[in-house]
Structure 1
């Protein structure tokens, strides 16, 4: 993928989804620095392009109905944020193997033979797929995974 800002968007989105899924159904504060890393504002107090892009990703996810939040904390965080029901349902749903991107070949599905059924079911969810993509850190894999789950749907 050639556009670095799009790669960052998909990575930020994956991190945001995992953090909110891990906290669900609690409302939490989601800080940009926890996702995009530390930021040093310039001499005018303006955040870096990277920081602003991550914050904009949070706002975009809310505008598109993937998350809900109560307020922003300057441009540093969104406060009282939670996944929406449709996004939680998509993340908690079983992976559609017929919709898996080619970049996931070799990374999913994992060998779950011999594991308890509850663990097997957990490892077959979309949120686990996002975690696998984050673990591998490959930009194309992250983009394909987030795109498949959020935009292709189940």
Structure 2
């Protein structure tokens, strides 16, 4: 999607966090009434983690029961553009709205599915400031690097955290 882009952290971390929190409140307020009771709408990105550096976007996870996945995916597809650079399976779909302020990413997963991990990663970071420091160091090292390189390094970090904490 933006493989030519470079990774950069938000200049004003406090402002970025406040903007993401405000957008999350708005997105959650809009989605909760139209989603099934099984749905959880969670703020899971760096802006949801105290002390975590952010590039300034908002990441939202929508977790649902498997039976509700098709209808929730259709509901989100009617409201948000699909993330063309992401995979799509029978238990995972991603949406991205680069025009939102800040940029918005939404991942819908079935509870317990292979991709139902973002909330676990966020919980691990919230519980361990050492992990946050390591994640921040990765982000500082990647400042100015191609976005694809940052994402590859981030994917390894996330996998390591999940493997050590949850597997």
TM-score by length of 2: 0.29
Structure with higher Rg: it is: 1
Instruction: Report which of the two has the higher share of helix.
Output: 1
TM-score by length of 1: 0.31
